[in-house]
Each structure stands twice: as C-alpha cells, then as structure tokens.
Structure 1
C-alpha cells in the first residue's frame, strides 16, 4: 500500500527541482482506468490503499535555478470535495510548502501549466474552484502576481470560455489569467536548461518539461510528466488510458513514445500524481518495463 507523496527533491547541476505537496485524491481504479477492470489490479495491489482506492499525489514542482523560481502546475487549492462513486479530493498545502522553502508568492517569476485541468490550476487566484465551494466568493487577483503564466496556445484555446467540471473555472482561473497568460511552443526554453515538450493526448495542448544542466557538467535529465502518466502502474501497463484523457489513442501514443526514450539511466521521471515517490526511473524491459523508485 502506498500513500500520497511528501516533499522530495532532486538536483541537476545548479538547478533544484522540489516536489511540493498540495493535497491528494483517492480514486476508484476500475472507473478511472477503464481498460484495467478490477482483475487488472491483482498484480498492482501495492498501489491501492486499504479500501481498494487508488491514491494520487497532487501538488506542484518548484524549479530553482541561480536566478529563477518557477512553479510547474498549481495543485487543487484549499478544497475538500467528493465526486460520488469516482473520487475524493483534498488540497490546500502549497503556500505553506512554498514558505518552508523560504519563498513568498511574490518570489515566483514563472508559473508553467502542463495543462489546465482543475487539479493543476487551483492556486491560480485567491478562489479555489470546487463543486461545493461557498457561493459569493470574490476573485481579487492572481496568487502569484509577479509571475508570467505560461501554457500552450492549443490548451488555452481548448478551454477558453468554457465551464466544464474538469477544466479551468471561468471566474477563478480563466478571467484573472487573461491579462497575464503567455503561450509557449514545443521546444521553447522557459529558463536556462528548462525546455517545453509537447505531449498531447490527455488534453489537446498538454505539455511536459525537460530539465537539464545548461553547463553540461551534469549529464542527467529530469522529465516532468504532467499527466502523461497518473500512476507508476502505467510504466508497465502503458496501454491503460485514464478516463479523462481527451484523446485516449493519442495519449497512449505519447506515453509509449516517451517511455521508449526514458530507459536511459541518466533520465529521471517526475510524476506529479505518483503516490509514494514522485521521482524515479524506467528500467528497460526484460519481460516488461518496471518502475524503480528513487533518484
């Protein structure tokens, strides 16, 4: 049995990547991975909790270079709600975790969104969208007012003006971001050694990040996956699509492409939804691929 991940950190040259928990979810595995069916989890029971639920970590990655402070995704925000027969969600720890790193919201110069699902944008403004949110909350600005906020154009256009349960709330996320959002393309370098990777499928404009040492002294690479994978089980069961993949076939193709590239021992994966350990490596298949926790 695994629990949601706690703070963890890796270094690549002078760049530090720190996972900051915001909260967690507990999901019905057969519902969220339709291809798995209950019997598909028999060999993966270690990733389920005592109630047979699938725990997911939800948080943010803090990327610090000698000159920059970047947040990758913004968690759930201060929420506590359930989606009946599907999942429960709880959040609210991100700002305290950031303060423990010695940073205030004003110290963040860049926010990068891998995509705009609700569990990645919760701290965009002072209002955290949730189905059970108290009425009458007033949005009074961005949580990280000095930061440039980056996302792919395809992702922004897909959700623009919409009011969907999974997407970015119109009042609390889309409207306050309108004057601050900027678009990045595949291959764009948003900081020295921090490069955008287009990884569509889970959403139309989903992107990951590749982090390397710009000096070249450290040969390791970290890939921040976003939602290319929701669980270490997908390293082995790469054909298991997530219920909310926008294009399941494309998401699977993206996952397979990345996994084929990630068997290099110098490559570290950062899975923001991975329970237990968010950092690890993909070992080359003997009979099949497996996940190796740690860094």
Structure 2
C-alpha cells in the first residue's frame, strides 16, 4: 500500500530543494478522476489502498540558494483533520516541525511562492487553516511567514478574488490577510538566483511551476517543481486523465503533455508534491508508454 512521501532533498549546484511534509490526503479515484474509463486503474492497483482509494502527499518545497535565501513553494494544509464524504480525507499540521528540522523558523523564510491557490496549497498562509466548514466567527491574526514576500500569478489571484469556493483560498484565512501583501509573478521571471517561474495553466487559470538550475553553471541538471500539473505517478502514463478540480481540463492535458515531453531528459529531475513514497524522480522515455522512475540514491542529497 502506498504511503505519504517522507522528507527528501536534492542538490542542484549550491542550491538545495527539500520536500517538507505537512500531511496527506486519501482520495476516491472514481470521484477525483471521473474521465478515467471503468477499469482504467486495473494496471495501477499498486497505487491504491485496500479500500480502493489513493493517497496523496501534501507539503511544501524548501529552496535554499547558495546566497542564503530560503523560499517555500506552497504551504500545505495547515492544522486540519476532516473528511469530504465520498471524495476525500485530509490531515495536516506538520509543516512547521518539518521546517524546524531544517534549522529554520518561519521568520527565516524570505519568499513564499504559490503554484496555485487550492486549499491544500495555502493552509499555512495564516494561523487560521481553511476547512470545508468555513471560518465564520474566526479571524486570522497573523501571517505564518511574516517577513516573506508572497508571490502568485495575477490570473490566479484574480480568478479566486472575492469567492468563497471551498476548493480555493478561504477569504478570511487567505485572501483578506494577503490582500496588501501579495505580489504577482509571470512566466520566465527569475525570483531568486537559479529559480525561474514557468506558466503551466489548466488545473487553475494561473497555475505555476518552478524551474531550479545552478546559477553558477557548474551543474547542468535542472529540477522542476510541478505543482498540480500531475497529482500522482499514474498520470505520467495516463496523461489524458483529468481531475475533478481542473478549471480547464483540455488545457490541463495540453500543459501536462507539453511538460512531460520537455521533462523526458536524464538531466531533469521532477518534483511531484502529491506523489507517494518519493516526490523526486524522473520521467522515462516513451516505449510502449511513459513510466515514473524513483530516484537512485545518488540523485538525492543527504
């Protein structure tokens, strides 16, 4: 049975990218991937638990650059434990402990980058974690990372602004506290040495991924943090599968196909934040079908 991914780290030159676990989810595949044909999971039964559901890891990626910067990519679930009948279960709350294990406090983080603003990527924005029952009667008192600049695509912010969709950023916990702090980034923008924004829309209108390279040029590899371009390893092979929360399913497939073609390279490491067992790996060349490869020990850092 697959398990949530543990902490793991990859070094690209003098930059480290570390997966920081926050929690996990369990999803009903029939509800989450409704376009998948009946029996479509048959070749992938090893990814399902005894109840026929699949697990997703949920957390954040810490990018530490050689010049001492500390960036967090996405902010997990926050301290939550809830179920959505017939669809999913979520449990979170580990992110700050995971960060402390790296020797960092929230005040040490100088940048937060949101790949998108679904609830499982914004949970630690403030001290009020979004849950399906809403935040009525409660209010956030502070940003979790008070010294950090908070970055997102403009299309993403404007899409959710003023809405109270439970899948998106809660107004009280996320939108209102960030209103005077959020800054916008665009495709190709460099936000730290060797860290570049990639526009990957479809799952949401302003969905972003990040590319990490060695700014010194000594390490020829690159690492791509996917966000939700893929939700599980199965989508590497079943790239036509769209999920129930894709804003534009056709665009999501086009983006996924384009990115998978670009990632099919020995010099590219992929970071899938929702992948189980291991979030880092590589996309193998197409034979009969694409496949996911867990990394050799040498690929990872300490």
TM-score category (smaller protein): over 0.9
**1:131–1:179 CA distance, 2 compared to 1 (3 A):** same
Separation in structure 2 between the aligned mates of residue 50 and residue 218 of structure 1, nearest angstrom:
42
Separation in structure 2 between the aligned mates of residue 242 and residue 10 of structure 1, nearest angstrom:
29
Shift of 1:46: 1.1
Separation in structure 2 between the aligned mates of residue 17 and residue 247 of structure 1, nearest angstrom:
30
Separation in structure 1 between the aligned mates of residue 44 and residue 270 of structure 2, nearest angstrom:
20
Separation in structure 2 between the aligned mates of residue 77 and residue 276 of structure 1, nearest angstrom:
21
Shift of 1:141: 1.3
Separation in structure 1 between the aligned mates of residue 117 and residue 253 of structure 2, nearest angstrom:
19
Residue 51 of structure 2 aligns with which residue? 51
Residue 93 of structure 1 aligns with which residue? 94
Report the secondary structure of 1:78's partner residue.
coil
Separation in structure 1 between the aligned mates of residue 146 and residue 162 of structure 2, nearest angstrom:
22
Separation in structure 1 between the aligned mates of residue 51 and residue 2 of structure 2, nearest angstrom:
12
Shift of 1:137: 2.7
Shift of 1:153: 0.3
Is the CA contact (8 Å cut-off) linking 2:140 and 2:173 kept in structure 1?
yes
Q: Confirm or deny that 1:231 pairs with 2:257.
A: no
Separation in structure 1 between the aligned mates of residue 110 and residue 219 of structure 2, nearest angstrom:
25
Correspondences of 1:1-295 after superposition (within 5 Å): 1-66=1-66, 67-132=68-133, 136-294=137-295, 295=299
Is the CA contact (8 Å cut-off) linking 2:20 and 2:61 kept in structure 1?
yes
Is the CA contact (8 Å cut-off) linking 1:81 and 1:132 kept in structure 2?
no
Is the CA contact (8 Å cut-off) linking 2:134 and 2:170 kept in structure 1?
no
Separation in structure 1 between the aligned mates of residue 170 and residue 134 of structure 2, nearest angstrom:
12
Separation in structure 2 between the aligned mates of residue 34 and residue 47 of structure 1, nearest angstrom:
17
Structure 1 residue ranges (4+ consecutive) displaced by more than 6 angstroms after TM superposition? none
Separation in structure 2 between the aligned mates of residue 133 and residue 5 of structure 1, nearest angstrom:
28
- Structure 1 stretches of 5 or more lacking a match? none
Q: In the TM superposition, what whole-angstrom CA distance separates every residue of 1:209-266 from its partner, at most 9, and x where no partner exists?
A: 0000001100111000000000010110000001100000000000000011111101
TM (normalized to structure 1)? Answer: 0.98
RMSD: 1.0
Range moving further from structure 2, 63-72 or 124-133: 124-133
Report the secondary structure of 2:43's partner residue.
helix
Separation in structure 1 between the aligned mates of residue 269 and residue 74 of structure 2, nearest angstrom:
19
Separation in structure 2 between the aligned mates of residue 143 and residue 34 of structure 1, nearest angstrom:
35
Is the CA contact (8 Å cut-off) linking 1:58 and 1:273 kept in structure 2?
yes
Shift of 1:152: 0.4
Report the secondary structure of 2:82's partner residue.
strand
Q: In the TM superposition, what whole-angstrom CA distance separates every residue of 1:63-93 from its partner, at most 9, and x where no partner exists?
A: 0012200000000000001111000000000
Report the secondary structure of 2:131's partner residue.
coil
Report the secondary structure of 2:251's partner residue.
helix
- Structure 2 stretches of 5 or more lacking a match? none
